[in-house]
Chain A
Amino acid sequence: MQPVSQAMPAVRIVVAEPPLPPPDEGPDTVAALQRLGPEARVDVVGDSATCIALCRAGDVDLVVVDRALGSEGQRILEELRRCGPPVVVVGRDIADEAALDAFRRGAAECVAVRADQVELLPVVALEQIQRWRALCERAAAERRIQEIKQLQRQVLQTEKMASIGQLAAGVAHEINNPIAFVHANLSLMGEYLADLGRAWDHVEALQKAVSRGELAEVRRASSELAATAEEADIRYLLSDLAKAIRESQEGSERIRHIVRDLQDFSRQDSAERVLADVNDCLSSTVGIVRPMMKHVVELETDYDEPMQIACYPMQLKQVFLNLLVNGFQAIEERVGDSGEIGHIRVRTARVEGGVTISVSDDGTGIPPDHLGRIFDPFFTTKEVGSGTGLGLSTSFNIVQRHGGTLTAESAPGEGATFRVFLPALAGVEGGRGG
C-alpha cells in the first residue's frame, strides 16, 4: 500500500452507509478503505444530502455507497451520475441483478465486501480514483488551453485596437469634415425654410384675396409676395436647398461608411479558419487606412488574381493594418511638415504554394542594427504612447500561425519593404523558417 499514498497524497473518500449498521457483524467498509494508507481520508455520512454537498464542495475523489442505504443511495448515484466523482456500490452480497441495477444508475463499480474479500475494495477504489484524477487533470488542461486561447484573442484584439488608435487623428479628421458641413447645412436649411415660410404666408394671403375677388387686395398681396420672393431670393433658396440636402446626404453617407468600416474592423475572428480571398482582406484594410493617410501618403495597389486561403481573415487584416501603419509612420517621420507626399506600394502575387503580399514605403527606413530586432516583442523606436511595440511581433505570430513567413528588407533612407508569404494549404502550422 505504500506506493499508493506516495503517488496520491491526501485521497478523499466519502462513504455513505446507514447510521446504524445491522446488528450482525456487517462488513466494515471504512476499515477496508483505510488499507489505502494514512493519506486516505475517509468521511462517513448517513444520507444523500450530506454526501452530495461534500462532493459539490469539491476535492472528493471517490464515493462509496452501501446498498443498505436503499433509496438514499440511489439518490446519490443519480445526482453524481452527470458530473461528480465515481461511485462504487458495496454490499455484503451483491447479486447480479442488484449489480446490474447499480450500473444502470451510474455506479462505476460494484464490490462485495465480505470478511474474506476485504482486499478487493481498496484495489477497486484505487483504480477508480486514478481514473477520476486523470479525467480531472485532462479537463483542467483543456480549461487552461481555452484560457490561453482566450488571452491570445484578447491580446490580438488589444493590439488591433491600438493599431487603429494610431490612425485616430486621421479617423477624427475624416469624420469631422462631413460633420462640419452637414452641421452648417442643417442650420442654414432651417433659415431657408423660415424664408420659404414667409413667402408661403404671402401666397395664402394672395389666394384669399383672389377668392374674395377684390382686385386692389389681389394687387397688394401679389406685390408683397413678389417683394418677399425677391428679397429672400426664393428661386435660389429652392435650388440651393436641393443642393444642400444632396450634399448633406452624401456627408452623412460618408460618416456611415467610416463607422461601418471601423465596426467591421473591430470584429473578432471566429475560432475556426474560413476560406477568404487575400486580396479582399488587403483591399478592405487599404480602404480603411487610405482616407486616414490622405495628404501624407499616396497608396498604390497592385493585386494579382484572387486567391482563397484558409485563414483567420480579421487577423490577416490586422497584419496588413500594422504594416500599413508602420509605413505611414515611417513616412510621417521622414517628411515632417514639409508637405511632401510619401508613397506606399501594396502588391499581392500568386507564387508557388501560396501568395506573397508586400508593403513597401519610402519612409525613413530601418537601421541595420534594428532589422534583427523589429519582430521582438516590445521592441519600439517610437515615443512612449505612440506604439505598443507589439505590432510587428503580433504580426509575425499571426503569419506564423498561418504557416507563413514575414520578412523585412530595408536600407536607411530608402524606405522598407515587408513581405508576407502565406501558404495556400490549410492547416500548415510552423512554416518555412523565418
Chain B
Amino acid sequence: MAGDAIPRAPSLLLVDDEARILSALRRTLRREGYEILTAETPDEALRVLGQRPVDLVLSDQKMPGMSGLQLLAEAARRRPDAARVLITGWTEAIPREELDRLGVRALITKPWDDADLKRTLRQALAAVSG
C-alpha cells in the first residue's frame, strides 16, 4: 500500500456462510468508509483474495469445508499483510495461543456490539498499515 499513488479506501473481505450475517455486517460498516467485499464460502473467499487487494479478512469460524481459522491461515500465506479477524458464536472456545499462532488480530463474538466491532476493525487495520 505504501507505493500506491492514490490513497484508496481500505478493503474488507467479509466471509460467512450466512448471507444474512454478511448483509447485517455490511449495514453496520456502511458509514465506515470501507470498500466491502463478501464471500459466502471459504473457496469463494480464497478466489477473491487472489483477485482483489484486501486489507482485512473478517471470517466466521464455523463454515462448510473449512473452518474460519483454517481460512485465515491460508489467507496469511496468500496475503501476509492483510489483517485477520475471526468472528464466532460463543459455542466453540478457541484457545488464545491458537489465535496468536495464526496471527489473528482479534476475536469478535456473535451477536456483536456495533461500536465494538467498528473499533476492533479500525484498530486491526491501523496495526497492519502502521
Contacts and interface: CB of A to CB of B under 8 A. Distances in A.
Interface in A202-216: none
Contacts of B63: 295
Contacts of A244: 23-24, 27
B91 A339 contact: no
A178 B20 contact: yes
B67 A172 contact: no
B93 to A, nearest CB: 10
A337 interface: yes
Contacts of B92: 169
B28 to A, nearest CB: 6
A181 interface: yes
Contact of B90 (A172, A178, A295, A341): A172
A294 B20 CA distance: 17
Nearest to B61: A173
B65 A176 contact: no
A95 interface: no
Interface string A176-206: 1111110111011000000000000000000
Contact of A250 (B20, B66, B111, B114): B20
Interface residues of A, number: 25
B91 A184 contact: no
B21 A180 contact: yes
Contacts of B112: 180, 184
A296 to B, nearest CB: 9
Given A184-B28, A244-B27, A251-B20, A341 B89 contact: no
Interface residues of B, number: 25
A243 B22 CA distance: 13
A247 interface: yes
A240 interface: yes
A247 B23 contact: yes
A187 B114 contact: yes
B7 to A, nearest CB: 23
Contact of A339 (B24, B30, B66): B66
Given A244-B27, A339-B66, A341-B65, A180 B111 contact: yes
Given A187-B114, A341-B64, A176 B89 contact: yes
Nearest to B18: A177
B110 interface: yes
B18 A339 contact: no
Most buried by B among A172, A243, A339: A339
A115 B30 CA distance: 110
A170 to B, nearest CB: 8
B49 interface: no
B91 A181 contact: no
Given A188-B28, A339-B67, A247 B89 contact: no
A176 B110 CA distance: 7
Interface in B21-46: 21, 23-25, 27-28, 30
A184 B64 CA distance: 24
Contacts of B21: 177, 180-181
A247 B18 CA distance: 12
B91 A180 contact: no
A294 B114 contact: no
A185 B27 contact: yes
B62 interface: yes
Nearest to A339: B66
A294 B91 CA distance: 14
Closest 6 CB pairs of A and B: A180-B110, A181-B24, A180-B111, A184-B24, A176-B89, A183-B111
15 contacts: A169-B92, A173-B62, A173-B91, A176-B90, A176-B91, A176-B110, A179-B110, A180-B24, A180-B89, A181-B18, A185-B24, A188-B24, A337-B67, A339-B66, A339-B70
Given A178-B20, A181-B24, A184-B111, 13 more contacts: A180-B24, A180-B89, A181-B20, A184-B24, A184-B112, A185-B27, A188-B27, A188-B30, A240-B27, A243-B23, A244-B24, A295-B63, A339-B66
Interface of B: 17-18, 20-21, 23-25, 27-28, 30, 62-67, 70, 89-92, 110-112, 114
